Structure formats: structure tokens, C-alpha cells
Amino acid sequence: MYLHNELIILGLIFINIVIIFYIYKFFKNKYKIQIKELQEQVATLKKQEAPALTQDKYTDTKKSFVSEQIKKMEALEKELAKQKKRVYDIKTIAKEASDIKSKFLSNVKTELRTPLNEIIINAGVLKKELQNTQTSQYAQNIFNAGNHLLELVNKILKSTNMQNNSFKIEEHAVDIVKLISDIVEEEKNNAVKKELQLSIQVDPNVSHSLILDAKKVKEIVQNLVQNAIKFTQDGYVKVIISADETNILKNSLNLSISVEDSGVGVDSTNQKKIFEAFGNENIALGLSINKKMAQLMHGDITYKNNNQKGSIFTLYLPSIEIALNDATVTCKEDYNIDFALIKPDGANVMVIDKDNHTNNIVQKSFANTAVGVYTYTNAKEAIEQLKKTHIDMILIDIDILCSEQSAVSKVIANISDAPMVTLVSTRVKNKDLDSVKSDIAGHLKKPICEAELFKISLKILNSLK
């Protein structure tokens, strides 16, 4: 009973907040229109001129006209000030309501979750212990209802956190194909129960290791997959991972993860409402949170009808950085790492890096091959050598390349057209490469992984004529 009363109070407060929010939006739009009209009237009066009159009546009439216009303007400006005051008052009320909502939800976070968890745990124990089938079913109903209510509370709290800008992006290197494959595996039993075919399709252009917030991407995609299974009665649910516009300079790609199904689809009247928090009680709160989450990651979620039957929801994340392997990561490449295979008829490689360790790794890797290696710890000496020697590939520290507003890259570009590979210690995303004039062919992360050095050198040097 105590929990029941608390939930009723929570529901009433939440409904009141929603009502206040929509009242605020209504009056805000209404008063905006009125203020605009008043401003236009004031502007018109200011531009108005007195009508043409005969000389003898001109002075008196002009005074009368001006006096009348001044009174009108004063009246309009008073009304304008009054309307602005109303808008300010409504904004203040809405802000106070929002603050009360945030404070309330923050305070009841523990108070709600703790008893709900107790209900769920105890219902689970009762379900196992009770022998009577009907009584056991009651316990199962309590268990299911408790989980549903806890999920709803979590969604409301998450939505509040996003509105309060307390939403944090935590990016790290993730195997995107494994992440999505794990979701498909987790949801496979639910699909099998409905005799649905659940599958995954991966575009070969997708780099497996990407830098993103795995937890949030998983939450979004898993919710889309669960909705697809829920509203599909027969046929299939397919998750498609694709990429487009790979940007070599910025080491990034545009990632799309689509969930396609052969379900009932969404009719045209409801398509605009599916991402609204109160558009559809079954799925909209989750989709609304997912869309906000995607937008805070500089992406979006879109919907379109499947050409045949069903729906296609797509999570789109632009400019996702590709993770680079370094020597601290085990390089599991299926390459025959033999540097003698690289440009056997000869080539020249230049390394520009303050770190002698990097220079030594490159020299050691190309030892006893047809490739000559020139190493320098500063750009000035390297540029002098470039004037005298033909270089086929340049490995350069990204900080040296971008220093002094990319002056080094401009000088090198005037001397040599050799493709460049940047050497980075952190992330390419954090570097300003827009003003770099040289041809960037790729990136290597320090400390250099020999397999990655071999792979990029083979690709660049063996493509030279």
C-alpha cells in the first residue's frame, strides 16, 4: 500500500509537470505572435507621416497628429512591456517546475529503486518456492510488473539526466561488429520464440575497431532490435552495419546501423509521433530517449517504411574515428610480415620524429631490404635532405606536421609529392589537419606496431609505378 501511494503521487506530480510544460509552450507561442504584431504596429506608426494640409492649418494639425501618434505609441509600448512580462513570468514558472521535477526525481531515485528491487527479488523467490500453479503465476505477474515499472523509472531518470546536461560520452576503442553480434546473440531466443529469423549483415567497408561509446550504442541498437521483434509476427529482423565517406585525412567514417523488419510498420499519421516522449505509450519513451542519446553523440535516429513490409530504423553516427593499433596491442594480422616484399626494386622512406625509438623501429624493420631509410629528429634537416633526394614515402610526427599553422607541411608540399603517414601518440581527432597541404595516406600510432607499419608501407610503396 505504501509503495502504491508513492507511485500515485509520483504519477500526479509528473502529469502536473507535463501540463505546465505544454501550457508554457502554448502561451509562449501565443505571446510571441502578439509581441511581433505590436512591434510591427510601433514600427509602422514611427514611419507614418502627417497628411498634406493647407499652410494655415498645417501647424495646428501637425501638432494634433504628432500628439495622437505619441499617445498610440506609448499605449502600444506599455502593452508590449506587459506581454514581455507575461512571457518572463511563464518562463520563470516553467523553469521552477523543471527544477522541482529534477530535484524530485533525484530524491526519489533511491526511494523508488530500492523497494522495486525488493519486490522483484522477493517475487522471483516466491515464484520458485510456490507449488500451486495459480499462486506461482501471481508471483510471476508481480515479477514482470516490477521489472516493467523499474525499467520505466530508469527511462524517466535517464531522460531527466539528458535534459539537465548530465549526460556523459565515454569513448574508447570498440569492435563494432562483435558488439552488434553480441546483441543479436542475446536477442536470438526472443526471435526463436516467435519463429523469426534474426540476422546480421556487415558492409566490408566497416572498420571493425572504432572509437565510440559502446554502452550507449548497445542500448540504442538493443532497444531497436527488441521493438522490431515485438512488433513483427512473422518473417525476419535484420541488423545492417554499413559505412560511407571514409575520411583518410581525419581517420574517420560515417557509421550507420539499421534494424530492418517485416513487421506491421508505422502508418503515416504516427510516423511523426514515434520519437515523441508521449507519442505512443508502448515504445515512444524508449525511442525518444534513444534519439536524444544519438543526437548528443552528434548523430541521429531516422525511420522509413520498408519497401516490401515493415520498418527500418537507422542509427547514424557521423565522423566516427577509426581506432589505430600500436605495439601495446597484440597485432593479430593475417599478413606474412616480410619487409623484403615491399618494393623489391627499391624505394626511399623518410622518418621525421623527435623520438629516436620510432626512427630505430623503422630502420630495423627495413634492414636488409631494398628500401632505404632516412631518419631525422627535426623538420629543418629533413627538408634539406628532401631537396637533394627523391623520397617515396614520409613518416612524420603529427605535431611536427601541424606546428606553426602547418608551415612544415606547406614547405614539404612545395618540395616533394611523396605520400605522408602521420605518427600519432593520442587521437587523430584531436589534431587540426584541415590546413595540411600534403597528401595524407594514412596514420600510425606510436609506439609503432610492426604489422601496421608493414601493412601501410606495402599498400603505399607497392602501388608506386
Cis preceding linkage at 115, omega within 30: no
Domain assignments of the chain as residue spans, ordered by start: 2-163, 172-322, 339-461
Q: What is the DSSP letter of 264?
A: -
Q: 353 or 84, which is more confident?
A: 353
Does the pLDDT of residue 292 top 90, yes or no? no
Is the domain defined by 172-322 classed in CATH 3.40.1160.10? no
| Of the options 3.30.1130.10, 3.40.980.10, 3.30.360.10, 3.40.50.2300, the CATH number for the domain spanning 339-461 | 3.40.50.2300
Please say if the pLDDT value at position 222 is more than 50.
yes
What per-residue confidence (pLDDT) applies to 335? 55
Q: Which residue type occupies 202? A: V
Q: What is the DSSP letter of 317?
A: E
How confident is residue 161, by pLDDT bands cut at 50, 70 and 90? low
More confident residue, 104 or 312: 312
Secondary structure of residue 165 in the 3-state scheme:
coil
- Listed range (33-47, 237-251, 302-316, 341-355) with the worst mean pLDDT: 33-47
Mean pLDDT of all residues in 321-342: 77
Mean pLDDT of 377-385: 93
Instruction: Please provide the DSSP assignment of 391-411 as one string.
Output: -SEEEEEHHHHHHHHHHHHHH
Give the residue among 187, 186, 183 at the shortest CA–CA distance from 175.
183
The reported pTM is 0.67
**Percentage of residues of the chain with pLDDT beyond 70:** 71
Which of 42-56, 70-84, 224-238, 388-402 is the least confident region? 42-56
